[in-house]
Amino acid sequence: MGPLVPNIISNEFNLIVALIAGIGFGFTLEQAGFSSTKKLVGLFYGYDFTVLKVFFTAGITAMIGVLLFGQMGILDLCLIYINPTFLWSALVGGAIMGLGFIIGGFCPGTSVCAASIGKLDGLAFVFGSGLGVIAFAEGYPMFEKIYLAEAWGPVLINEKLGMSKIVFGFLLTAIAFIAFFLTRLIEKRVNNDQSKLPKKRILAYVSAVGFAFFVLIVIAVMPDRYSRLESRMNQAFAHSDLTSVEVPADKLATEIVNNYYRTNIIDVRSPEAFKAYHLPFAINIPFDKMTDRQWKTILDQKHKTNYFYADDQQLARKGYLKAQFLGKAENYILIESSSDFKNLFSNLTPPDSNASKNELNTYNFRQKAATDMKILVEALKNSTEPVIVKTSKIKGGC
């Protein structure tokens, strides 16, 4: 599941990704005509709206793609970088950039693009940008107040407008298409252009608009990955017989004593319950948190066997079923609840004098297992402390 950096693609290889992304970026900018200031500033005098067309099309394409990937469950939208909002510096900075745009005729990306094909004005603009950065760095104390004011964090525009992402997606896409239509009218008037679009082109545009809305509708009606998972799990819960994968406490204890290195004991209860008591070597993966990417390495591996337990049979079974859908690991369920396990091994009561041989054997076995588990836990204390996995945050910027 994306983003692939840093868990699937390393940070070093990421630099090669940067190079490839840059090549794609530069190529499309230049092909679109962004290496020419005449084309760029045309936007502001109404004779050429290429910038708006390219920019808006790219924006909605990527936006719809991000929504689609998120809904399909192949991109974790909680992990992608959202530019933080600093209200005043965003507005003032934007206004200064706009002034720079109309005077210089470029923005930083397009100036690099222009300089690359030999435009001297592009090169001058890049040089100027460097000066601007130095001016900011040197004068930082002067800008600091506005730079840090009204820090709202990574807020999303749809939240601000009080609508869902998909509704905003529809809205922005509609705005883009209306803008394309209106700017064509303006462009024609400013350039005294009487020409009509060829039929083929009109057909292509109409189908592109249709396709965009079609994808948006698909996103709107498609259940997301987790609700799909949930419904499959509930179905399986109602229909499947899980007795074959249920393991009694004695067997699990033997497994812990002899093969602790090949087992994952997974507690699907809440962190509080886990803290109060948990089985030796248990890892706490609360049921609702099982889909978090940090548990993937446990729920989807082939080296260790996973044993699930909880305080009630229902929850343990649900945890087992969820794990079955989430990964390919070998999973089992502990029949007993955690408190039963505690009673069986921690609060052992010796059998009375007239107990049968069988009862005595069981008692001896449990006592030994309990001591062994205690010794093992003590001996491996440092190496088995649950590792707190930090969720990786992607650093961003312009």
Partner 1 sequence: MKPNKYMNPYMAGFLLGLVLLGTIYVTGRGLGASGAIKRVVVTSVVEVAPQHSANTPFIKSYHEEHPGGPLKDWLVWEVIGVVIGSFFSGVISNRVGIKLERGPNITNSTRIIAAIIGGALFGLGSQLGRGCTSGAALSGMAVMSFGGIITMIAIFGSAYSFAYLFRKLWLK
Q: Which one of the spans 47-55, 280-288, 295-303, 337-345 is the region binding partner 1 (CB under 8 A)?
A: 47-55
Q: Does 171 bind partner 1 (CB under 8 A)?
A: no
The answer to whether the CB of 376 falls within 8 A of the CB of 354 is no
Q: Give residue 348's identity as a one-letter amino acid code.
A: L
Among 72, 73, 92, 270, contact with partner 1 (rule: CB under 8 A):
92
Q: Choose which of 72, 73, 132, 273 interacts with partner 1 (CB under 8 A).
A: 132
- For 257, the token pair is 């004593």
Query: For the chain, what's the residue count?
Result: 398
Q: For 161-186, b where at least 16 C-beta lie within 10 A, e where not — what string? A: eeeebbebbbebbeebbeebeebeee
Distance CA 394, CA 398 (A): 13
Binding to partner 1 in span 12-31, by CB under 8 A? 14-31
H-assigned helices in 300-379: 313-326, 338-345, 357-379
User: Is 143 one of the binding residues for partner 1 (CB under 8 A)?
Assistant: yes
Residue 274 contacts partner 1 per CB under 8 A: no
Residue 105 vs 286, nearer CB to partner 1: 105
DSSP state at residue 2: B
**Residue with tokens 């079923």, as numbered in its chain:** 321
Binding mask 97-126 for partner 1 (x = CB under 8 A): xxxxxxxxxxxxxxxxxxxxxxxxxx-xxx
Q: Which residue number, 38 or 189, has a Cβ lying nearer to partner 1? A: 38
319 touching partner 1, by CB under 8 A? no
By CB under 8 A, is residue 332 in contact with partner 1?
Answer: no
Nearer to partner 1, 92 or 273 (CB): 92
Q: Are strands 246-247 and 263-267 parallel, antiparallel or unpaired?
A: unpaired
Q: Is 198 in the site for partner 1 (CB under 8 A)?
A: no
The pair of three-digit structure tokens given for residue 175, joined into one six-digit string:
């705005």
Question: CA–CA distance from 51 to each of 3, 106, 114, 300 (Å)?
Answer: 29, 11, 15, 46
User: Counting contacts by CB under 8 A, is residue 56 touching partner 1?
Assistant: yes
Are residues 295 and 355 in contact, defined by beta-carbon separation less than 8 angstroms? no
Q: Please list every residue from 365 through 394 that binds partner 1, using CB under 8 A.
A: 394
Phi/psi at 368 (5° precision): -65, -45
Q: Does 127 bind partner 1 (CB under 8 A)?
A: yes
Residue 3, φ and ψ in degrees, nearest 5 = -65, 145
**Strand 246-247 relative to strand 330-334, pairing:** parallel
Residue 180 interacting with partner 1 (CB under 8 A): yes
Minimum CB separation of residue 105 from partner 1 in Å reads 6
Q: Does 351 bind partner 1 (CB under 8 A)?
A: no
Residue 168 near partner 1 by CB under 8 A: yes
191 binds partner 1 (CB under 8 A): no
Q: Quick one: which of 71, 72, 73, 157 contacts partner 1 (CB under 8 A)?
A: 157
Stretch that binds partner 1, among 58-66, 261-269, 287-295, 322-330 (CB under 8 A): 58-66
How many residues sit in the footprint of partner 1 (CB under 8 A)?
133
- Residue 148 interacts with partner 1 (CB under 8 A): yes or no: no
Q: Please state, in angstroms and rounded to a whole number, the distance separating the CA atoms of residues 56 and 68.
A: 18
Select from 10, 65, 224, 235 the one that contacts partner 1 (CB under 8 A).
65
Q: Which part of the chain contacts partner 1 (CB under 8 A), choosing from 82-90, 214-222, 251-259, 378-386?
A: 82-90
Q: Provide the phi-psi class of 105: left if phi over 0, else alpha when psi is between -120 and 50, else beta.
A: left
Q: Which residue, 221 or 398, is less far from partner 1 as judged by CB?
A: 398
Distance CA 196, CA 77 (A): 42
Nearest approach in angstroms of CB 391 to partner 1 is 12
